[in-house]
Amino acid sequence: MANASQPSSITVPIFNGENYDYWSAKMKTYFCFQDCWDVVEEGYTTPADTSALTAAQKKELKENKLKDSKALFTLQQAVTDAIFPRILGSKSAKEAWDTLKEEFQGSDKVNPVNQYAIRNGWTSNGSALTPATVGPFRPACLLHHTKVVRSAVNP
């Protein structure tokens, strides 16, 4: 019999760079179901000196670390390979969540650029665009994509 808190029939929604609002709403529900939303939304702190903690505080800290690891793993599984590099260096679920939120829940002018870039295998790196996939680098192609993205932002 499957564990009640982790049924095998539930799939995690996959984020591909489009419809962030829908994906994030589904993920919030999933994290609430998994009892992890508090560490995703608020994070948690580890005291510098844990030797002074009571047994109950140590237990709570251990539970928070487990929830955070579970939530970070889930977030890593819930994004496509094109999105994953953005959260690769995240040390906590909150950091990964906030990174995705900051990039994809922006103004209406930002989101179409991100969506265009992701659909075409490019990632935004500041003001420059770089290839997201391994392959031959073609400066002319990069220049064309940069012009197309700029025209999408400033019609």
- Mean pLDDT over residues 30-46, rounded? 95
Look up tokens 């903690």; give the residue: 53
- Mean pLDDT over residues 7-27, rounded? 89
Take residue 71 and report the two structure tokens written for it: 């939530």
Which pLDDT belongs to residue 133? 40
HSE (side-chain half, CA atoms, 13 Å) at 135: 10
Which pLDDT belongs to residue 141? 42
Q: Name the average pLDDT for the chain.
A: 77
Residue 49 one-letter amino acid: D
Look up tokens 């870039």; give the residue: 117
Segment 60-109, tens digit of pLDDT? 999 999 999 999 999 999 999 999 999 999 999 999 999 999 999 864 44
Q: What is the pTM of this model?
A: 0.64
